[in-house]
Amino acid sequence: MAKGPSLDTFISAADRALRALLAPPAAGRPVPTPPSVSARDASKADTPPAVRLSDEQKRESAALMRVNHAGEVAAQALYHAQALFARDPDVREFMVHAAREETDHLAWCETRIKELGGQTSVLNPLWYAGSFGIGALAALLGDRASLGFVAETERQVEGHLKGHLERLPPEDVRSRAIVEAMCHDEAGHGREALNAGGASLPGPVRELMRRTARVMTHTSYRF
């Protein structure tokens, strides 16, 4: 019989939660930049230099990137919970590794939001707590169900990010580069979860996931 999480594991999970919510995220990879943007200009909010975003464009980009940031907070919680309650050590390592890559996304989004003069969602603690509970439930259903949940989550997130690419101002090439890189990573996580043995989820579960994500998306866009 598989052993449950140890006290050290719970302490590590609590530490990861506090870091996700309170500590500035540290990316292991640099913020993605468009191929046409030089390193000197990469940290400027209005890149390339010839392009200047209007105040309205900045507000829209900041709101969309706030949604993406909130989604990454939720992703951290999902992976942390699924790692905590995974039965197979390989599945646990998969979840921890994926969470590390999602930390890059968290840092990229936060950086871009600040550049645009925006704020992250005030409801991030709520997104984390709710997502942690959902991730724990998925993990308790078994590793194959948990991996299947990852695959479906990433599929929906990939679609969501592609929708943002259509909504972001064409001139905001910096935000677009970040979202495109995130989209690439999410698709990879989904494939890896399926290859690791993820089970297909029932239609009603997939629909519930879509509805839950819609609530978070609409709310974090404004707050």
Query: What's the pLDDT tens digit per position in 177-209?
Result: 999 999 999 999 999 999 999 999 889 889 999
pLDDT at 51: 62
Say whether pLDDT at 157 is over 50. yes
Contact yes or no for 163/21 (Cβ under 8 A) = no
Contact yes or no for 62/116 (Cβ under 8 A) = yes
Is 3.40.50.11030 the CATH number for 60-222?
no
CA pair distance 127, 120, nearest whole angstrom: 12
Say whether pLDDT at 134 is over 90. yes
Say whether pLDDT at 117 is over 60. yes
Tell me, letter by letter, the H, E, C secondary structure of 107-128: HHHHHHHHHCCCCCCCCHHHHH
Q: What's the whole-number mean pLDDT along residues 128-146?
A: 93
Q: What's the pTM value of the predicted model, to 2 decimals? A: 0.84
Q: Which of 7-16, 68-77, 134-143, 155-164 has the lowest mean pLDDT?
A: 7-16
**Sole residue written with tokens 């959902």:** 134
Domain ranges of the chain: 60-222
Q: What's the whole-number mean pLDDT along residues 12-19?
A: 57
